[in-house]
Amino acid sequence: MLLCVSISCDHFVEVDLPSSQLTSTAVFESYTTAEAAMVAIYAKIRDNGLLSGTAFGLSNELGCYTDELQFYGDNSNSSKAFYNNGLLPSNSDITAYWNGSYNQIYAANSVIEGVAHSSVLTQVQKDHLRGEALFVRAMLHFYLVNLYGAIPYVITTDYTQNSVVTRMSVASVYSQIKSDLESAILLLPSTDISGERVRPTAFTAHALLARVDLYNHNWAEASNEASAVLNNTDYSLEPNLDAVFLKDSPTTIWQFSPVSDGRNTDDAQTFIFSTGPPPLVALSSSLLASFTPLDQRKVHWVQSVTDGTTTWYYANKYKQNATTPTSVEYTILFRLAEQYLIRAEARAQQGDLIGAQQDLNVIRNQAGLPDTTAVTAQDIITAVLQERQLEFFTEQGHRFFDLKRSGTIDSVLSPVKMGWNATDVLFPLPQTELLVNPNLNPQNPGY
């Protein structure tokens, strides 16, 4: 069993360790247990976090919240509230996202503090574990700030401080995210010690930092961070679209391994179905209509089911929804295609139109499409955003975040989402947390 220094709490500030677990001091008296504590954080994020491939994760819930997925589940399913724009401060998933993420952040902070005080770990071991924990802390805050807006940036395990935290401005949160990632880059190794790209490296931190800079309109920095990844010969595009999501794909920057060998991804179990109507979700008609006839992604990453009268379509990026003799697919969090499209957009914003076209064409050509016909900066940016829709559907909420940051979310979703309001760009803060810590007030607008 993996050792975990985090626990399940009713609120993210409740951090006392139960007597059945090792104390944080004991954990960091051995590199084996210290590393196990870090690995256990990844397991929690994979199984129960925002980035889980289960129906609870953002890939499904934000797909329902935007225009990627059509919901078919029953009224008791939590995805229905996302699909119907019916989120409330009392919603259990909204609370679980908040509390689960902050508990994982607490665990990362435990690692940061634990390695700092360890008298046993070598400096190399300390740097590696601290770098991974800083990366995780930055990544989780990145998703939280994009979902909830102004949030606390928690950097300690101190209960007295955490119980009265206040929300920081979005700009301040991003500043802290960048600081953590820049520190992580200096501490992390350039290659994954596991050999399977399941532990973050300096280039994983570069990849997230490129996204952070893109979202903040730091075009030159976004381009440079993406280039740092793209110039690394350890990564390369996979020409076979059916192999992009295999566990040994050269395009993968970072991924989660399954809980045991022979298991594959929760994503496949969430999205693949064999009979209709679908038990949970299917791809939306608007997404399907966005693919042009030549686009091979629709051929290789979309599959259909029919009952003879109606045909439904599902995401077929991950193709193994059952156990296999050995695991063949891992859930991918960062892959190379995003870095090309980040740099394309950033280059267009800076006026490097030829460079932007070249990066955009790399992804288009991989999908079997001809070079872009976009010429002006705005047309190229629009083309990049369209390419992102087709490249990253059902992957960790990219569509929602792209619509938000581009300022197009209201115009795109209002016609297709009943009751869509401008305030729906943010989730409500959990009501239970506002009651426990009034410093988190006010509630987000619209709730």
- Per-residue tens of pLDDT for the chain, all 447 residues: 233 333 344 454 444 443 334 446 789 999 999 999 999 999 999 999 999 999 999 999 999 999 999 999 999 999 999 999 999 999 999 999 999 999 999 999 999 999 999 999 999 999 999 999 999 999 999 999 999 999 999 999 998 999 999 999 999 999 999 999 999 999 999 999 899 999 999 999 999 999 999 999 999 999 999 999 999 999 999 999 999 999 999 999 999 999 999 999 999 999 999 999 999 999 999 999 999 999 999 999 999 999 999 999 999 999 999 999 999 999 999 999 999 999 999 999 999 999 999 999 999 999 999 999 999 999 999 999 999 999 999 999 999 999 999 999 999 999 999 889 999 999 999 999 999 999 999 999 999
Backbone angles phi, psi at 235, to 5 degrees: -110, 145
Neighbour count for residue 306 (Cβ, 10 Å): 11
Q: How far apart are CA 107 and CA 113, in angstroms?
A: 10
Return the residue matching tokens 């009751």. 419
Closest CA to 443 of 169, 434, 420: 434
User: Measured between alpha carbons, how far is residue 134 from residues 53, 105, 257, 434 in Å?
Assistant: 23, 9, 20, 27
Q: What angle do CA 326, 329, 332 make, to 5 degrees?
A: 145
**CA atoms of 95 and 175, how far apart (whole Å):** 25
pTM for this model (two decimals): 0.95
Phi and psi based region of residue 85 (left: phi greater than 0; alpha: psi -120 to 50; beta: remaining): left
Please spell the DSSP secondary structure of 220-271, one letter per residue: HHHHHHHHHHHT-TT----S-GGGTTSTT-TTEEEEEPPSSBTB--HHHHHH
Domains, the chain, ranges and CATH?
1-11+23-186 (1.25.40.390)
Instruction: Please state, in angstroms and rounded to a whole number, the distance separating the CA atoms of residues 59 and 38.
Output: 24
